[in-house]
Amino acid sequence: MKNWQMPENLRWSFQHIADFLPTSVISRGQGLAVALPAAYRDLDSITVPGTEPDGEDSSVGSVMGATDTDGWMVLHRGRVLNEAYFGEMGANTSHLLMSVSKSLIGAVAGALADSGVLDPAKPLTAYVPELADTGYAEATVRDLLDMRSGIGFSENYLDPFAEVRMLEEAIGWAPPAAPGPVGLYPYLMTLRQKTAHGGAFEYRSCEADMLGWICEAASGESMPELMSRVLWGRIGAESDATIGIDQFGTGMFDGGINATLRDLARFGSLFLDGGRALNGERVLSEAWVGQTLEGAPDSREAFSNSPGDNRMPGGMYRNQMWFPYAGNDVVLCLGIHGQMIYINRPAKMVGVKLSSWPLPQDAAKLFATLRAFDSIAATLE
Are 316 and 239 in contact, with CB atoms under 8 Å apart?
Answer: no
> In the chain, what are the helix, strand and coil shares in percent, each to the nearest 5?
35, 15, 50
Q: What's the pLDDT score for residue 343?
A: 98
99, 149, 219, 239: the catalytic one is 99
Instruction: Give the architecture-level CATH label for domain 7-117+221-378.
Output: 3-Layer(aba) Sandwich (3.40)
CA distances from 34 to 149, 229, 252 (A): 38, 17, 27
| pLDDT class of 262 with cuts at 50, 70, 90 | very high
154 is catalytic: no
Q: What does the pLDDT read at residue 52?
A: 66
| Mean pLDDT score of the chain | 97
Confidence tier at 1 by pLDDT (50, 70, 90): low
In this predicted structure, the answer to whether residue 321 has a pLDDT above a threshold of 80 is yes
Position 345 pLDDT exceeds 70: yes
pTM of the predicted structure, to 2 decimals: 0.98
- What band does 55 get if pLDDT is binned at 50, 70 and 90? confident
What whole-number percentage of the chain has pLDDT above 70?
Answer: 99
Amino acid in the structure at residue 191:
L
pLDDT value at position 51?
80
Question: Is the pLDDT reported for residue 119 higher than 70?
Answer: yes
